[in-house]
Structure 1
């Protein structure tokens, strides 16, 4: 009893004393600084939360306070965001306070200048450079995937390739829809030459009110890329490197040799007319046991590595930035390889207080070993019962199968490309009076490329042979320049009226020379691969791939933008651009593009001063018109104007140089001009909870006058003619949401997460005449898409499967009830365009460790499994198709009976394109330079990254991220338009997506 009483007293004592132990006071000291300039902030209130006790920072921002070890300190000061930090026994707590208006005062790069975030009236998404550089990707365009709402990116696994980018849906029907990139003022459609480590910021201009300053070039969106420049202070050296390996992310399970033989024999039997004896390919009593995995035979574990170093800094009159780098990608397809070497020099020289000059220059040399992507199609179709090599060392093949040995294709392919590219600008800037800046810059993009293709004499079998060696020598030289002259005036009057005005003139010229010369009978020795080593009597020049110094296009433009801000609360901005292009008839070569918009910084209103929910709140709305003059009919303005090349003819005395002949082979649209897009955009941006939660909501509605081919009946008895004209209007309407949470708990621990989602509806809104534009050729006589009013562009147009007949063939719904199954019975079953696409990211920092990951995916789109639907006879078969085929013993099967006939495009081949991909997982560790003496005044971080390690998909094929069709079986005309919307979302010979696992380091000193 006594012990129990003693025990109770002890428990009671601990219960009473615990609070006093927990509240043991400690002395805490630290400094409060401004997040922008790092200076100490005097007068900051430092309070112990839940009490009236506290102190203030001194003139230098320092403070000293006694508080319980488990207390929470609150730091607050007028016009700064309040912060709460748990003490957790810390004796030193340094705090950085951000201005409540900091987010709105951030300077954002816009067309031909910069603006404060608070002044922007259009939809602009900014992506931090570190979000791009942490990924092992060639181009920043791929690194944008999942980082910005309204931006959809389909990446290819092919080394050296640029991904397909769509901004707020598809507008153009018969052309590609890729945006333009503006790299330090240079307009381009290819940024594979830019080292990601050189990028300072990326802004995506998503609506017409933001894009209109680029006028006729902005119809598909604008991505601004700003590279790094020297910063004030001492010289800084950065070294970044990583290396890793790549593997195919997902494979398709193919039937083994024995199952393939059974299926092939069944297909032959089912296709043999009644009464005739089938000629079987395999002996039913001696089926093959061998199984060759052709996909394994043509792929490998690829390697990727990157090394770059930069030096930056400034002196009294000069800022400088120099970098050099190497990127190497040995793709997963055997024989493929891409190497890029680049160097950059960005310098600015201050010649006088009002005068400065500078340059941003990058030189890039790249070389590629190219293997045709059709190898994947051959590996998919090739018989697993065939050997890679025969016993005598020759290449194996399957008699009765018209598919070449893909390993032989790789080994007999000699296709090399070398490219030297110089890109950049030189500029002069003059500030004659306060607020006025005059700037002239010359921007250029010079490319010299050469290629060599050699095919030796070889024979695998009758359909895979080359009887005479063939050498093709290609040259591709291009010089594109833009000369810009602009004046910018920025002035604030009476402390409340801010005016920012820009006017300018721009001139562009794009010139190119291109040739493809072929000769036969060149020896199979690499050192003899020259035109002169072949039979000179066989020299030919490809007339479709030859330009002798011609202008591709010339443009002239005048542009202007005016922004007025009142009291930091109300903004109104308008842009106007007048473009002239040599691509169009004289009477229509000029076009006018414009925008108008406004924004309201609600958080700056007096009625918002006493609330403590919103840190900032901003409403914006805009309207504008932009154009597109380079993406019509598969980048082929000749098709728009009815032009064909007829070959070369001698012209001019005394040399009689060959001149390309031109023929107008179709009726042309006399009113041919830009595709135009008009649109409205509205958005709400906010920040709450001391800046921890920020986000935006956006709505857009845009309408594109798109070019489509229209058939005009002949009046003279000859064939009907086709003319490209603006006979269709395409509408994209959508809603975007972006939310981000960022919280720093204490000096050791912080975390963040965020995401964005875009809902887009694409539809052909109206047409002139009866538009029924077919597309999506499978190369076997079948097409699978139809574009017509009321449906999305490139909608899948197929027969609806209802069951099987007594032979196991599919039966189809007779939609119109006329007793005949024909095109009139086809139905629309969706398109490759997703109804929603999204990204999610999260990160944690604990002491020296950092962990981050991000996801990407889309919902509501469809994919046509073209590789299943293209069966030319005795092709390999997927294990799923084999297992689910109809047989007399399996009449409830989901698939048809084995067959070698060309199938109808049906709902059987249309699959869900929904997917969720783990885009990136990165774990890093930053060494403490206080503990490691050799790192004094330096920063070293090591990291491991998994890029695209997992993908969760409904689709049974290689990848759900499919853009244009690229099959080697389609015609040249179809291939030229393969990137267009009417041919997208069809898997034929897509380069499979891969996973990358790598290690790297970042060193700064």
Structure 2
């Protein structure tokens, strides 16, 4: 640990020196730049020119193509054919406009990406009209027939031009045979031949910007239109005002094939569980996350600091990352600065949180009444006489309470978030700085979380033509989390029966049946506090060696250090008899440090010859991981306030420590070929060596191939004017997985702390405690993908993929006989298949009245199945590993109704006047019986699978449910109009089961309450066929079966937001560019039949110890200066 911290200190010093230097350069360059008459997002763009002399219109066209700006001008006022001679073949847009200004006298005004050209004085121009021409009139409209205002109309090959009025009408001097060129920002230019002098109607089509989007892929970027793999993209502008406490939740419902669920609402631990195209392993199924190219935790990045997220779903897209890409790859790109003056953004919200739902449970009267019934059914006596029940009903004695413990432990809580960002740049440097703080109280008593974070990204450009780029990235966060010690106990005690008192008449804490009073312990100071520090630094240099050839080196450093103090307070509890129980205080301190370094070297080459374009990438990377931990324990502290380990009783102390080191070395390459933007091909290969495996099995090779055919560029598709883009894709690849025990290196594991007796004396030593498998090798996943991308000119975008992913050599712990007293080894156990289909449909529309609409619906259907096993199936309840079933499917007996009185005969010649509880029942012949107990009326009847009329463990258990949904779907909608904006997000799953075998679902489990649905249990007067009778032993009904399986499908309004942006004309006086006020509701409502805490929580949860989801209502402001 000392070595790790020493390395951290050295790196911090170096990085901070570089950071301060870069900031100083930034401020100097920015001050030197002075005021610039431009929009700063585009002014620094580089324009490449292939000659010296151009006309104005040629320069405008080239600049539009290479930078994304659009020029607007009146061709009657401006001589667009005026020659301009440029000084260099590579100029920044600012420099180009300056040269145009000097030579033509034209000046420029900016509005976002639109440059309005202001011509010189009319007496300085030489615009003449051909006297043989006459006025030609017409109208320019969009595809909906709405007039296009200020469209430019030019007579091609001349200096004659005009602009349309607010009705879309124009009049221009031309003659029959002339060609009119019509242009407008955001629309495709069109040429029309003049055949008459009036009634020319021109319909403009919008430019499809979707296809020009740049997508972040492995070690680079690609235009969306050139992608051959399955890549999903999340643009974060829609997420900036959502109260996302972690960035992982931005993936929920936004990318088809990605299943993200929030397994907890606990502050600091409410991150998303993310599966990409199903679960393909028995181990960790988490995808690889890279933040600006360096492995990291997505929840260490604020959602507000992210520019975009790319999800690499198929093997062709992911194989460049090889051994850790089997579960998919998530590429997070953080925001950068752009050339121009400093831009300041402040975003803040405050809000309140509450549990989305809490189970409905019994009150004291109902609980005691049903308890008496269960006691009689179990052969016992009345436990709570009527007089006692009346005391509970009176509500005037603290020792006979009626407490809903869910309401005791859970309640409303506040949340606050503040974020500030600054960005800008000059000719040679761009920068972005971001800082924020989140304060989140928990809805469970005693829980809260505070996180402070910062991030800085600096890019510097050096040497002639800026051949050298050096980037420095620095980020850090400190999270402080407080929660009750033994949090799982707090969650369990929330299920307590209502009859257990909290305090006696003297206000003293009362024990629960002679045991703990966890609420009292929390109030007396039993608290676990953890502090987690994360720091990451990255230096990157890129040098352009030749035209199209560049080299890049990246070094990344990431350290996470945490310190946890778990303190149990000394509490005196009073029993009902008057005696007391003292709970001794104790403290456990745990320190952990995790250090990860990455060195990556890349060589990139791009060459275009005619219609052919080739891009080649080669690289090498080396990663190292080190982990150290230590813990100490002492008990019997003097008081509950001085929580220092040394103040505890030394005779009670224990300590422990451990560490490990891992390494990964990789070589990789990629080649892309593009012919005329029509035929696309990509091949990747990566070779990884991992220290987790024994020699001979450490290296794995992971190739992939993909291709695309842009059919819409074929001549036979040209007549389909409703089609903008149609591309067919296909890919195949093989990926790896090394996620096994971190100590696993092919050698048997030795552990200390083992005592040996030699000659009657005990000696401390070491022993083999775990077996290893020296033949263990990589888990490999092969995936086949077929996809289609379709863009229609009526604003629709559609993407669909079919995939078949097969994971072989599954890494699974192989059971060994208990008599060996060793931890079991891993084995390459079998194969699992995930196949399915995913689709996404997006609609965009902008109306002439300013209304903008955007909606996206996506869905995916995945079938998960174990296809083979090399070791024995693990048929245990409630989960099993079984060929033909999904991974970890629920396994048990299948409920087949309830035994009714008519299924039995009983003593006294079946005299119906004999009391139900006094009868001795015998099953009638032919009625299925259970092997290990005698069934009674009201007990659950189980299905006899092998038809031998006896239900037993070996022959009559089956798969009773799956934790993976058949269908996941989502719908996102956004609308904007006259400053108002409205957005909502619906997300849901179908065909998934939840297992509700937990305290309130199993009657009279320990000291727990029961769900209110048990009021409808089986009785002779209410012969239910869905709920069994009540008993105290639970032998007959509290066993793993489909009775405890529930439909966990749901549809949730995950987010709804309403905002209003104040007019810039009002704000400009105060120096504010934009100001938006908004209100947001997260987890607004849920439609489900599930009776547990929350259907979205991890469906493998089998108990009530689950921190509930929270509904968050916030109000906020987003300001740009």
Sort the TM-score into its range (normalised by shorter chain). Answer: 0.7 to 0.9
Tell me, in whole angstroms, the C-alpha distance in 2 between the residues paired with 1:927 and 1:209: 46
User: Retained in 1: the 8 A contact 2:187–2:204?
Assistant: no
Change in CA separation of 1:879 and 1:576 when aligned onto 2, cut-off 3 Å: closer
1:857 is aligned to 2:962: no
SS at match of 1:236: strand
Q: 2:945 aligns with which of 801, 815, 827?
A: 815
Q: 1:674 aligns with which of 778, 781, 797?
A: 778
1:900 is aligned to 2:1035: no
- Partner of residue 539, structure 1: 653
What is the 5 A alignment of 1:507-656? 507-526=622-641, 528-542=642-656, 546-548=657-659, 550-551=660-661, 553-630=662-739, 632=740, 638=744, 643=749, 645-647=751-753
Change in CA separation of 1:621 and 1:257 when aligned onto 2, cut-off 3 Å: same
- Partner of residue 592, structure 2: 476
What is the 5 A alignment of 1:134-283? 134-155=241-262, 156-161=264-269, 162-173=271-282, 175-188=283-296, 190-272=297-379
Change in CA separation of 1:696 and 1:873 when aligned onto 2, cut-off 3 Å: closer
Deviation, 1:104, is 2.8
- Partner of residue 395, structure 1: 509
Change in CA separation of 1:644 and 1:945 when aligned onto 2, cut-off 3 Å: farther
1:503 is aligned to 2:630: no
- Partner of residue 363, structure 1: 476
1:796 is aligned to 2:899: no
Bigger CA radius of gyration: 2
User: Retained in 1: the 8 A contact 2:492–2:1104?
Assistant: no
Tell me, in whole angstroms, the C-alpha distance in 2 between the residues paired with 1:157 and 1:529: 28
- Partner of residue 1003, structure 1: 1119
User: Retained in 2: the 8 A contact 1:382–1:405?
Assistant: no
Q: 2:455 aligns with which of 337, 341, 344?
A: 344
Tell which deviates more after alignment, 753-762 or 371-380: 371-380
Tell me, in whole angstroms, the C-alpha distance in 2 between the residues paired with 1:870 and 1:622: 49
User: Retained in 1: the 8 A contact 2:510–2:517?
Assistant: no
SS at match of 1:253: coil
- Partner of residue 802, structure 2: 699
- Partner of residue 28, structure 1: none
SS at match of 1:607: helix
Q: 2:497 aligns with which of 373, 383, 398?
A: 383
Tell me, in whole angstroms, the C-alpha distance in 2 between the residues paired with 1:285 and 1:575: 74
TM-score with structure 2 length normalisation?
0.76
Tell me, in whole angstroms, the C-alpha distance in 2 between the residues paired with 1:75 and 1:124: 36
SS at match of 2:423: strand
SS at match of 1:588: coil
Change in CA separation of 1:865 and 1:713 when aligned onto 2, cut-off 3 Å: closer
User: Retained in 1: the 8 A contact 2:346–2:1118?
Assistant: yes
User: Retained in 2: the 8 A contact 1:254–1:876?
Assistant: no
Tell me, in whole angstroms, the C-alpha distance in 1 between the residues paired with 2:74 and 2:720: 22
What is the 5 A alignment of 1:725-740? 725-740=827-842
1:439 is aligned to 2:547: no
SS at match of 1:251: coil
Q: 2:1045 aligns with which of 904, 910, 916?
A: 910
Tell which deviates more after alignment, 575-584 or 876-885: 876-885
- Partner of residue 172, structure 2: none
SS at match of 1:215: helix
Change in CA separation of 1:561 and 1:807 when aligned onto 2, cut-off 3 Å: same
User: Retained in 1: the 8 A contact 2:867–2:883?
Assistant: yes
User: Retained in 2: the 8 A contact 1:869–1:905?
Assistant: no
- Partner of residue 887, structure 1: 1019
Q: 1:991 aligns with which of 1107, 1110, 1113?
A: 1107
Tell me, in whole angstroms, the C-alpha distance in 2 between the residues paired with 1:193 and 1:468: 37
User: Retained in 1: the 8 A contact 2:1078–2:1116?
Assistant: yes
What is the 5 A alignment of 1:414-493? 414-460=527-573, 467-493=583-609
**Structure 2: stretches of 5+ with no match in the other structure:** 1-59, 76-137, 170-180, 191-202, 394-400, 757-762, 900-934
SS at match of 1:422: strand
Tell me, in whole angstroms, the C-alpha distance in 2 between the residues paired with 1:412 and 1:739: 53
What is the 5 A alignment of 1:718-867? 722-746=824-848, 748-774=850-876, 783-802=877-896, 803-804=898-899, 806-823=936-953, 824-867=955-998
Tell me, in whole angstroms, the C-alpha distance in 2 between the residues paired with 1:53 and 1:332: 55
Change in CA separation of 1:265 and 1:643 when aligned onto 2, cut-off 3 Å: farther
User: Retained in 2: the 8 A contact 1:646–1:663?
Assistant: no
User: Retained in 2: the 8 A contact 1:519–1:536?
Assistant: yes
Tell me, in whole angstroms, the C-alpha distance in 2 between the residues paired with 1:351 and 1:48: 48
RMSD: 3.3
Give deviations 1:858-911, integer Å, cap 9, x for gaps. Answer: 000111112245566454443433312122322235211112324111221101
Give deviations 1:73-117, integer Å, cap 9, x for gaps. Answer: x9878995589xxxxxxxxxxx998644x4333211111111121
User: Retained in 2: the 8 A contact 1:641–1:672?
Assistant: no
User: Retained in 2: the 8 A contact 1:929–1:936?
Assistant: no
Tell me, in whole angstroms, the C-alpha distance in 2 between the residues paired with 1:240 and 1:572: 43
User: Retained in 2: the 8 A contact 1:854–1:918?
Assistant: yes
Deviation, 1:741, is 0.6
- Partner of residue 39, structure 1: 70
User: Retained in 2: the 8 A contact 1:963–1:985?
Assistant: yes
Deviation, 1:639, is 11
Tell me, in whole angstroms, the C-alpha distance in 2 between the residues paired with 1:34 and 1:135: 34
1:316 is aligned to 2:421: no
Give deviations 1:131-174, integer Å, cap 9, x for gaps. Answer: 3323211211112211110011110211112221111111112x
User: Retained in 2: the 8 A contact 1:832–1:913?
Assistant: no
Deviation, 1:284, is 6.4
SS at match of 2:70: coil
User: Retained in 1: the 8 A contact 2:874–2:881?
Assistant: yes
User: Retained in 1: the 8 A contact 2:680–2:707?
Assistant: yes
- Partner of residue 85, structure 2: none
Tell me, in whole angstroms, the C-alpha distance in 2 between the residues paired with 1:660 and 1:486: 48
Tell me, in whole angstroms, the C-alpha distance in 2 between the residues paired with 1:235 and 1:644: 58
- Partner of residue 15, structure 1: none
Change in CA separation of 1:62 and 1:843 when aligned onto 2, cut-off 3 Å: farther
Change in CA separation of 1:532 and 1:597 when aligned onto 2, cut-off 3 Å: same
Change in CA separation of 1:721 and 1:67 when aligned onto 2, cut-off 3 Å: closer
Q: 1:374 aligns with which of 460, 479, 488?
A: 488
Deviation, 1:996, is 0.5
Change in CA separation of 1:291 and 1:510 when aligned onto 2, cut-off 3 Å: same
Change in CA separation of 1:297 and 1:477 when aligned onto 2, cut-off 3 Å: same
